[in-house]
Chains A and B, each alone.
Chain A
Amino acid sequence: GAGVSQTPSNKVTEKGKYVELRCDPISGHTALYWYRQSLGQGPEFLIYFQGTGAADDSGLPNDRFFAVRPEGSVSTLKIQRTERGDSAVYLCASRLAGGDTQYFGPGTRLTVL
């Protein structure tokens, strides 16, 4: 079946601009996660949704970052006033209710010039 999909695959923006990154989880997966991966590092947790609500947003670095999942399926990560330090690969993962395994999408590479 289809895996987690993320769009766009690459995004180049200028410092100060607003960006939106989209994640389509595996159909039927109720849990959705956003992670950020910098070059040469492992992914770092940002936020976790159970259904429509954010169950844990403790990884969001500051209030420029926000994520939504209005219908409990697709999620959008929103970054305001982007900074060069936001450049990274943003990964989305989803998990089936009652399961443990998080399945990752291919990521969106964000470059802030």
Chain B
Amino acid sequence: GENVGLHLPTLSVQEGDNSIINCAYSNSASDYFIWYKQESGKGPQFIIDIRSNMDKRQGQRVTVLLNKTVKHLSLQIAATQPGDSAVYFCAEKDNTDKLIFGTGTRLQVFP
């Protein structure tokens, strides 16, 4: 929604650089993880997902890494563009089918 991202951790990167957004999850039983991008006034937009039987998955300009040992998830964005500026949420799902969202990180891209 509007003003999503107030008081959130912020990552500032220069256009063209790579971005890494990190997320710690809580439930060792979670078997599915997903990253969403949320722009102000809009709903969360799917970016990339990964199941727990994998440790890396790549998409177009994005890569998700999963470390189950330390319960850590990261999103890497290559060649960050101004249009990538948004709040990014990770979410986890166990067998209950609902998503549990993390706090969110605001990504700011400057020229």
Do residues B7 and A40 form an inter-chain contact, with CB atoms below 8 A?
Answer: yes
**Bound-complex Cα distance A24 to B3 (A):** 25
Query: Which of B6, B32, B41 is in CB contact (< 8 Å) with A100?
Result: B32
Alpha-carbon distance between A106 and B96 when the two chains are bound, in angstroms: 24
Interface residues on A, range: 20 to 34
Contact B101 A48 (CB under 8 A): no
Chain A to chain B: the 9 pairs with minimum beta-carbon distance, closest first:
A42-B101, A89-B1, A104-B43, A45-B98, A40-B6, A104-B44, A106-B43, A40-B7, A107-B43
Which residues of B are in contact with A by a Cβ distance under 8 Å? 1-8, 32, 34, 36, 41-46, 49, 51, 89, 91, 93, 96-104
Hey, which bits of chain A sit against chain B, CB under 8 A?
4, 31, 33, 35, 37, 39-45, 48, 55-56, 59, 88-89, 91, 100-107, 109
